[in-house]
Amino acid sequence: MKTLLLGGALSGAIKIGSAGLTFLMFLLIARLLGPAEYGKFGTMFALGSVGAIAALLGQHTLSIKIIANLEEKPNAGRARSEFVRRSLLTVLAGGVGCIAILLTVWAAELLFGWQVGGAQVLGACLFLLPFALAELVSHQYRVFGSIFFALIPRDIIWRGSIVLLCLAASAIPFIFSSALSAMMTISLVLMGIVSVQMLLMHRVFASRFAPTSKQETTPPTPPIPWWMWLASLLAMGANLNVVLAAVFLPPEQVGAYFAAQKTAQLLQLPILAINILAAPTFARLYARRNFAGLRDVSRKLALILVLPLVVGAGILVAFASQILSLFDPTFDVAVTALIVLAISYLVMGLGGPARQLMLMADGDDKLVMMTAAAEFIGLASVPILVPMIGLIGAAIAALAAKAIFIVLAVAWCRRKLGVDTSVFALLSRQPQKRP
């Protein structure tokens, strides 16, 4: 319990700092760009994030499972080194492929006059590869047990650097003169930081990568886990929601909705902080078939989660108008959307780390189906609801997707593992028995 709380406290503290910097970063960028350009920036950021997860091909999640299993084996230094190298090459190849697809769409716009937003596509291409590599390296540092190196570079250093650049924009105005220049700036800074992270990994963990015997052999390359890739991509429903809503909304309203979504995502903080610790812990406990341990950890995580989730949602609902006006006075059109989004993240958070447990406990195929069903319903609702009721329609679609998924995921964990990941586990005196 002590180790769990200390790890959760460290990751939580970093995530709290990251949340403040993230909020300040997007707020300052919005004030520098104005409503219309910020709407374009939001579309670029969302599309680039989706492209990055597609480019990962599931390697970030696979890293947790493979490296965690290797940690249980002696004489696996060469295997760890080779897996890290192969995962990097896989992501680079995936990134090049995704960029090629997006540039093909942009070329089609130039050739045939399609209205797909060439600048938004180009901005997404700039952000795609740095974000993908940052996600991969962060996951690999996590499973090596270094919360500091996993989180500080992107969550604190990158976001802090962008905040400082925003504050210095009056001296170097060209870096935030448009949505495209802003995306280029944040992408270059992130790429520089990730490059340093990758170079440091073999130095920081030199003993973990060193071959221990001449007889040590490198295992065959595992096949690309299509279900991990699809699950990770579908988990980007929030970004897909923005991209799809942007088709039906003017840039000014997209900017307001993007600000509302980023504000509501503050409620992800507790669950993200817990997931950083939960994923490798779940993987090790499930590998040992320690279901009592899984139940115990889940109940403790639920205890840590409940208070910050409820208090955070209450603050966002009570001060929605004031918070959005910090981005731009015209963004108060998204007040109701922010309230609905806050409720959606609260619902998701109250379900606890069900997604992580399913990924680590052989529920991969079911996770893909649940995520696909929930996101399909949510995204299919956007073209229907947004033309009818505007921003609120996009928020309602997001709420529907999150609620459907978390109910299905928690039910699966209870039925198949006898583990209740939700905060309602705190109401149960007796732990569930595995069926």
Q: pLDDT by residue for the chain (435 residues), tens digit each?
A: 455 545 556 666 777 788 889 999 999 999 999 999 999 999 999 999 999 988 988 888 778 777 767 665 666 677 777 788 888 898 999 999 999 988 887 777 666 555 556 778 889 999 999 999 999 999 888 878 777 888 899 999 999 999 999 999 888 888 999 999 999 999 999 999 999 999 988 788 777 776 665 555 555 556 666 666 776 777 788 899 999 999 899 999 999 999 999 999 888 877 777 776 677 788 788 878 888 888 888 878 877 887 888 899 999 999 999 999 999 999 999 999 999 999 998 998 888 888 888 878 878 778 888 988 999 999 999 999 999 999 999 999 999 999 999 999 999 988 888 888 888 777 765 445 554
Residue type, 68: A
Is 420 in contact with 428 (CB distance < 8 Å)?
A: yes
Neighbours of 215 (CB within 10 A): 7
Q: Which of 41, 35, 27 is nearest to 180 (CA)?
A: 41
Q: Which of 16, 94, 19 is nearest to 54 (CA)?
A: 94
Q: How far apart are CA 185 and CA 122, in angstroms?
A: 13
Q: What is the residue type of 308?
A: P
Phi, psi (rounded to 5 degrees) for 399: -60, -45
Asked if 305 and 352 count as a contact pair (C-beta separation under 8 A), the reply is yes
User: Are the beta carbons of 58 and 226 closer than 8 angstroms?
Assistant: yes
- Residue 261 has, within 13 A of its CA and on its CB side, a CA count of 28
